[in-house]
Structure 1
Amino acid sequence: MRYHKLKAGVEPGTYVMESSVMTEQDILTMANQLAKRRLSKGRRLSNPLEVKAHLMTLFQHCEHEIFSILLLDNQHRIIGLHELFHGTINMAVVHPREVVKLTLKHNAAAVILIHNHPSGNPEPSSADISITKQLKKTLELVTVNVIDHIIVGAEECTSLAEKGLI
Structure 2
Amino acid sequence: MWPADIEQKARAIIKDFTARGLKLATAESCTGGLIAGVLTEIAGSSSVVDRGFVTYSNDAKVQMLGVKLATLAAHGAVSRETAMEMALGAVSHSDSDFAVAVTGIAGPSGGSADKPVGLVHFAAAGRDGALVHREMRFGDIGRDAVRLAAVRTALGLVGEIAQAPAP
| TM-score band, normalised by shorter chain | 0.3 to 0.5
Q: Which has the larger radius of gyration?
A: 1
- With a CA cutoff of 8 Å and minimum separation of 6, indicate the structure with the bigger relative contact order: 2
Which structure shows the higher strand fraction? Answer: 1
Q: TM-score, normalization: structure 1?
A: 0.32
Q: TM-score, normalization: structure 2?
A: 0.32
